[in-house]
Amino acid sequence: MTDAATGTGRQLISFFQEPPKRSSNSLGVELLPIEQANGFALPGPAVVGIVYVRHPIDHRELIPFADYDEKLAQDRYNEALRVFTQLGAARIVAASRRQTTKQVVGRLGIRRLGADVGVGKDATWSLTFDQEGDGGVPTDPRPLRFRDEPMLDAVCDGVLNLGVRKGRIQITRSSTLGVDGELGLRLKKAGFKLGVSGTKATVTEFVIEAAFTADAAKDLDAVVARTEPAPIPARRSLLRRNITRGD
């Protein structure tokens, strides 16, 4: 992960109800009146005092500071699924590694997106996606949404030019903006909220594997066997339409 959302270049934003004494601060947080929140895309109602981070690709999208690293990992995961699908994969299997953490600093500012709140077994692998069908004619999915994922570009070249039969992408959740990191601690000391819940299960890693032939697709059964049932049923492929229609 190479995006530099570190508080410089107006990457951090917080909304206020009453005008602050100073419109800027040494932490680089841009302070805006709550009325301006309508000009941004947020995952829920804007909350006064929470620090939001601009998305590195869409600067109108704001992510609560505490959710930033996990949201970016989820976006990269979705991009990998898009790329493998457009490359004509016959089967895609994805697993996520979740770990329960207890966070007692701050409060839940907004509803989390896709988070599993509660206590569970630590470091468990769950099946999050299992897509299978006849596959299709590969098309080039580039330009890629995240250009700093070199393995995705390599898979594209391999499938389109070298006849690669399988591809694998591993996405690890960054800790660039951890709530207990240096910047997070400085923000809390300055009186900002980070949007933190109490106890939650966060995704720390994704592994996405794709097979581009029917024979190679069978090899992914072993990946499924190593995972636990997902809290939400794994999504099935729209590619099955080719089977049900008899195409």
Note the pLDDT tens digit of each residue in 104-161.
433 333 333 333 333 444 567 889 999 999 999 999 999 999 988 889 999 999 999 9
Asked whether residue 44 carries a pLDDT value surpassing 50, the answer given is: yes
- Structurally, the chain folds into a number of domains equal to 1
Q: Residue 221 half-sphere exposure, CB side, CA atoms within 13 Å?
A: 5
> Is pLDDT of 242 > 90?
no
Q: Is residue 3 assigned to a domain?
A: no
Q: What is the pLDDT of residue 81?
A: 96
Task: Calculate mean pLDDT across residues 193-202.
Answer: 70
23 or 209, which is more confident: 209
C-alpha 136: how far from chain center: 26
The segment with the largest mean pLDDT, out of 35-44, 145-154, 232-241, is 35-44
**In-domain check, residue 180:** yes
Question: How many other C-beta atoms lie within 10 A of the C-beta of residue 11?
Answer: 21
Q: Is the peptide bond before 143 cis (omega within 30 degrees of 0)?
A: yes
pTM listed for this prediction? 0.77
Q: What residue numbers bound the domain in which 102 lies? A: 12-244
Note the pLDDT of residue 237.
Answer: 43
21 versus 42: the higher-pLDDT residue is 42
**Which comes out higher in pLDDT, residue 208 or 27?**
208
Average pLDDT, the chain: 80
For residue 102, the model assigns a pLDDT of 53
Q: Is the pLDDT of residue 197 over 70?
A: no
Cα distance between residue 182 and residue 179, in whole Å: 8
Look at residue 4 and tell me if it is in a domain: no
Using alpha carbons, list the distances in angstroms from residue 145 to 31, 57, 84, 87, 150. Answer: 29, 8, 13, 15, 12
Distance in angstroms (rounded) separating the CA atoms of residues 33 and 41: 15
Answer whether residue 194 is part of any domain: yes
204 in a domain, yes or no? yes
**Predicted local confidence at residue 22, as pLDDT:** 66
Give residue 108's pLDDT: 34
Q: Considering the domain boundaries, does residue 173 fall inside one?
A: yes
**Residue 7 counted as domain residue:** no
40 or 27: whose pLDDT is higher? 40
**Is 6 domain-assigned?**
no
Sign of CA dihedral 142, 69, 117, 112: negative
Residue 10: predicted pLDDT: 56
